[in-house]
Amino acid sequence: MPFNFGPAASGENIVFGSERPHVIGGLEPWVAFMKSQGIRRVCCLLPDEDDLVAEYRRAFSPSRVLHAPIGDFQYAEEQQLIGEILPFFVASDAAQEPVVAHCWAGSGRTGHVLAAWLVAARGVSIEQAPGMVVDVEGVRRNPYEAESELLTLDEVLGWVQKHVHSGSLVVRATKRVP
């Protein structure tokens, strides 16, 4: 699939992942492709060095774009994941507006936020979510890319589970992924 585009897991129809627009090809082909796939919202996980966020706001509208920069080979910080990224996905789900999250290659940063979505909103276990993200046909994802002695993917997904169970992250999922 172009742009390493695909759903968070097989059967998911709201939250998708992708790589960034190509530096050489420009933004227009990426935006046109995303719109052709029904994407209505964008979550950019990159620093805004190429002014992508302003372009996304023009193409999708300001209220449908979230800029949540995560460093390369790093996981989102707990507050960023729980307070910004997942609520943006929840709003997308509630409005039935498909959203694409992207980093540079659509692999590590994208992969772990997609796994977090599956845990938060689709009833997927911490153990199963990363594999479901990796197993989507035709995409390259590695939610473990930022794994280190300081922070593991299981710990990041544990934050999500903790906040869902405590009620500090309210998710009203419209469906479960099989």
Describe the chain by its helix, strand, coil percentages, rounded to 5: 45, 10, 45
Q: What is the pLDDT of residues 44-102, one digit of tens each?
A: 999 977 789 999 999 999 999 999 999 999 999 999 999 999 999 999 999 999 999 99
- The whole-model pTM stands at 0.93
Contact in structure between 60 and 40 (CB atoms under 8 Å)? yes
The domain segmentation of the chain, as residue ranges, is 2-166
Domain 2-166 of CATH type 3.90.190.10: yes
